[in-house]
Amino acid sequence: MNIRTPYKVKCSECGAENQLNMELECVSSYERKKGLDLEYISTFEGACPKCGGDLAVQVRVWEYPEGFVESYTVIMEGAVKIEEPDFINEL
- What is the DSSP track for 17-58? EEEE----EEEEEEEETTEEEEEEEEEEEEE-TTT--EEEEE
Binds Zn ion by CB under 5 A, chosen from 8, 53, 60, 76: 53
82 is a site residue for Zn ion (CB under 5 A): no
**Strands 25-32, 17-20: parallel, antiparallel or unpaired by DSSP?**
unpaired
Q: Which is nearer to Zn ion, 7 or 64 (CB)?
A: 7
Q: Which is nearer to Zn ion, 15 or 35 (CB)?
A: 15
Measured from the Cβ of residue 11, the count of other Cβ atoms closer than 10 Å reads 21
Binds Zn ion by CB under 5 A, chosen from 4, 6, 16, 86: 16
Binds Zn ion by CB under 5 A, chosen from 48, 57, 59, 61: 48
13 is a site residue for Zn ion (CB under 5 A): yes
26 is a site residue for Zn ion (CB under 5 A): no
